[in-house]
């Protein structure tokens, strides 16, 4: 059996790790690397990341690569902005797995574009799916899977608590660490910081429970988590009263159920974990102590889902359409 040929598009930290993982995968073949950054052009994985396995050289344009079976996109968080790249993939008849947060449920913010790309993907005979750890797993897919063991579901609460000290600097920036509260609120108001994909998780979870929320009904919020005392962080010192992270929520109520998602990502946050509480005819409670570590899990999701995406029906798909994507 020939291994499917995989292109990894977008070689930021996640894309780079994903490419390294594909390169050593027993069932996938790394056959192209794409990134717009001129500094990466023509370089191999080993040149970008010492010790990485052999690979093709980076090309600047997806149109220039040869035929591939699967494209893993790690290029952006906004569905409309990656649409041109998705269409390049469709022209190549490549299945698409993307870390794009909005693509976890693309109809939430871009219903028309999602419908159009759905038709285009069906015409191209390939499936496209957004995945990751969050959105894509902890707050949506996993509670749906757990819920299959219950009837009469009424309430789902998912709590994800991340100690951001253990995470990359870009994530620490994204959650507002070291900012003043005023600065945080200004950036949050302009959607320049905060978690991407909360509304998508709420919707994906609700859809998995057979409900169909409208965008206006999905309520999200963001607030700063404030340091109670001076503390250190890789970005610099955080004085008491300054921001050490963020608290994001997503809610929806309808069709007899209520969904509450709570995400805390903060430097020095205690008791990191993923936790699901389902109220139903018989309640269910699930804990992942320490929580699912974001960066490595996103890479794993992309690679593992790439193996099963070919089994999905052509079209714009979600994690609710795919069979389980075990690790290999």
Residues found near its own copies in the complex (CB under 8 A)? 21, 27, 133, 137, 141-142, 144-153, 208-210, 278, 280-282, 284-290, 292-293, 296-297, 299-301, 303-305, 307, 319-328
- Report the alpha-carbon distance of residue 15 to residue 52 in Å, rounded: 13
CB of 319 to its own copies, least distance (A): 8
- Decide if 59 contacts 84 (C-beta within 8 A): no
Q: Which is nearer to its own copies, 238 or 316 (CB)?
A: 316
Of residues 264, 278, 248, the one with CA closest to residue 157: 278
Q: Cβ neighbours of residue 124 under 8 Å, at least 6 residues apart?
A: 90, 91, 93, 314
Q: Which is nearer to its own copies, 151 or 191 (CB)?
A: 151
CB of 202 to its own copies, least distance (A): 14
Q: Which is nearer to its own copies, 217 or 295 (CB)?
A: 295
Q: Which is nearer to its own copies, 100 or 278 (CB)?
A: 278
Long-range contacts of 318-321, Cβ-Cβ distance < 8 Å, separation of 24 or more? 318/104, 318/105, 318/129, 318/130, 318/204, 318/207, 319/104, 319/129, 319/130, 319/131, 319/136, 319/137, 319/140, 319/141, 319/204, 320/141, 320/144, 320/204, 320/207, 320/208, 321/127, 321/129
Give, in order, the Cα–Cα distances in Å from 230 to each of 181, 207, 265, 268.
15, 43, 18, 11
Q: Cβ neighbours of residue 145 under 8 Å, at least 6 residues apart?
A: none
- Report the alpha-carbon distance of residue 276 to residue 235 in Å, rounded: 31
CB of 213 to its own copies, least distance (A): 14
Q: Which is nearer to its own copies, 113 or 280 (CB)?
A: 280
Q: Cβ neighbours of residue 285 under 8 Å, at least 6 residues apart?
A: 275, 276, 277, 278
Q: Cβ neighbours of residue 81 under 8 Å, at least 6 residues apart?
A: none
CB of 142 to its own copies, least distance (A): 7
Q: Which is nearer to its own copies, 235 or 280 (CB)?
A: 280
Q: Which is nearer to its own copies, 113 or 288 (CB)?
A: 288
25: three-class secondary structure by DSSP: coil
**Following DSSP, what letter does each residue of 249-281 receive, concatenated?**
EEEEEETTEEEEEEEEEETT-SS-EEEEEEESS
Q: Which is nearer to its own copies, 103 or 297 (CB)?
A: 297
CB of 160 to its own copies, least distance (A): 13
Q: Which is nearer to its own copies, 146 or 187 (CB)?
A: 146
CB of 269 to its own copies, least distance (A): 18
CB of 138 to its own copies, least distance (A): 8
CB of 186 to its own copies, least distance (A): 34
- Report the alpha-carbon distance of residue 108 to residue 110 in Å, rounded: 6
CB of 237 to its own copies, least distance (A): 29
């Amino acid at each position: 059996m020939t291994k499917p040929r995989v292109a990894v598009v977008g070689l930021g930290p996640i894309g780079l790790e994903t490419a390294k993982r594909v390169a050593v995968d027993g069932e996938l073949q790394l056959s192209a690397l794409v990134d717009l950054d001129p500094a990466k052009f023509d370089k191999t994985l080993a040149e970008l990341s010492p010790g990485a396995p052999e690979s093709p050289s980076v090309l600047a344009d997806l149109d220039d690569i040869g035929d591939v079976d699967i494209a893993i996109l790690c290029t952006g968080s906004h569905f409309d902005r990656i649409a041109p790249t998705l269409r390049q993939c469709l022209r190549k008849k490549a299945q698409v797995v993307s870390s794009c947060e909005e693509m976890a449920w693309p109809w939430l913010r871009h219903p028309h574009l999602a419908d159009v790309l759905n038709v285009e993907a069906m015409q191209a005979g390939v499936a496209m799916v957004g995945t990751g750890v969050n959105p894509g797993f902890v707050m949506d897919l996993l509670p749906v899977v757990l819920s299959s063991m219950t009837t009469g579901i009424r309430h789902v609460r998912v709590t994800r608590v991340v100690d951001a000290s253990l995470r990359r600097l870009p994530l620490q920036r994204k959650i507002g660490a070291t900012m003043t509260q005023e600065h945080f609120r200004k950036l949050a108001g302009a959607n320049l910081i905060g978690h991407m994909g909360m509304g998508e998780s709420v919707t994906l979870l609700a859809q998995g429970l057979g409900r169909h929320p409208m965008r206006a009904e999905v309520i999200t919020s963001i607030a700063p988590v404030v340091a109670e005392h001076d503390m250190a962080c890789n970005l610099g010192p955080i004085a008491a009263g300054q921001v050490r992270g963020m608290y994001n929520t997503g809610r929806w109520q309808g069709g007899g159920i209520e969904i509450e998602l709570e995400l805390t990502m903060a430097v020095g946050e205690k008791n990191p974990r993923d936790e699901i509480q389902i109220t139903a005819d018989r309640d269910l409670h699930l804990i992942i102590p320490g929580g699912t570590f974001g960066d490595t899990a996103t890479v794993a999701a992309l690679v593992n889902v790439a193996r099963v995406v070919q089994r999905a029906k052509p079209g714009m798909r979600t994690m609710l359409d795919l069979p389980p994507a075990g690790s290999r």
